[in-house]
Chain A
Amino acid sequence: MQWNDIGEFLAMGGRAFYVWGSFGACLLLMVAEPILAQRRARAVRDTLRRERLADELDRKPG
């Protein structure tokens, strides 16, 4: 291993901005995308559930 301590690891030989900027952007987008996909799926499921509930209420007599 080429790092003596955590500070050296984070400094990335003076290229911290570029290295962490690259890995950070990947992490950020690759966390955000599945959350957005999950939300989209939840939104459509909620809509479908509401529609079905409305249908059932409509069918009830009185």
Chain B
Amino acid sequence: MNDSIRPLTSTRLTRWLFHCASPPVFYPLAGRLIPWFWALAALFGIAGLYVSFFVAPTDAVQGEAYRIIFVHVPASWMSMFIYLVMAFWAGVGLVFNTRLSGMMAQALAPTGALMAVLSLWTGSLWGKPMWGTWWVWDARLTSELILAFLYIGFIALQASIDDPRRADKAGAILALVGVVNIPIIYFSVKWWNTLHQGASVSLTKSPSMAQTMLWGMLLMALCFWMYSIAVALMRVRAIILEREAATEWVKHAVE
């Protein structure tokens, strides 16, 4: 029977996934995908910036300073989301001992750290004109700072261990323990009485305004998402070559 006619059973799907996850297959695949993610990031970025500055009107309460939301919220979302994806790959590597998983986790960490730093930086620049302070030790801000430290700790821990497989394992344990911080960040504004505003955009304004603001945030979040995938794929390709340098396929992959 022809192979292509057979139904896609879960065994075949698993086999296919493992096939794609092998570095010799994934390396060129990632290389082909990267330009598409850059194109998407650029498209969403242009549309998002247009909405952020030219469609979304001035806020009645916060004036123009609220426009920081269009980078602050996407950076914060991505800092949490990337952590979950990183911890997922680290966990997969720990359980299945697959080569690529640890590399994926390692490739995501700097991008996640960057998003956490941007979240704190833009939040600080928003807090100063609105709250009158750059920083408060409030539950939301403190847990986001801990997230930044978790990323930095993950990177530093892995850098301190020479054997990549052992570094993967140590990093995975740190990453998985740190997952507990994500719901703390997310629900901090509900669980504690914080200076940081609630989850949704709850500034007093007409529904139409909330609509354009939501669109701006959504487009910018998609831009940050596509950016993160593109840059993480670029980095994972470098990591693959570094770690697989001794293999025969790498010798052929690099002309």
Binding site for B on A (CB under 8 A): 1-3, 9, 12-15, 17-19, 21-23, 25-26, 29-30, 33-34, 37-38, 40-41, 43-45, 47-49, 51-52
**How would you classify the secondary structure of chain B's contact residues: helix, strand, loop or mixed?**
helix
Task: Indicate which residue in A14, A38, A45, A52 contacts B234 across the interface (CB closer than 8 Å).
Answer: A38
CB-defined contacts of B254 to chain A, threshold 8 Å: 45, 48-49, 52
By the criterion of a CB under 8 Å from any partner CB, how many residues of chain B are at the interface?
Answer: 36
Q: Tell me which of B57, B68, B227 contacts A19 (CB under 8 A).
A: B68
- Add 17 more A-B contacts to A33-B110, A45-B254 (CB < 8 A): A12-B64, A13-B64, A15-B63, A18-B65, A18-B128, A22-B126, A23-B71, A25-B121, A29-B114, A33-B114, A34-B230, A37-B231, A37-B235, A41-B238, A44-B238, A52-B251, A52-B254
Question: Between A and B, how many residue pairs show CB distances below 8 Å?
Answer: 87
Nearest chain B residue, comparing its CB with the CB of A39 = B238
Is B117 in the interface zone, CB < 8 Å from A? yes
* Chain B residue contacts of A14, Cβ below 8 A: 63-64
Main secondary structure of the interface of A (DSSP, over half): helix
Please indicate the chain A residues that have their CB under 8 angstroms from the CB of B110 in the complex. 33
**Contact in complex: A40, B238 (CB < 8 Å):** yes
Contact flag A18-B126 (CB < 8 Å), given A29-B114, A33-B110, A44-B238: yes
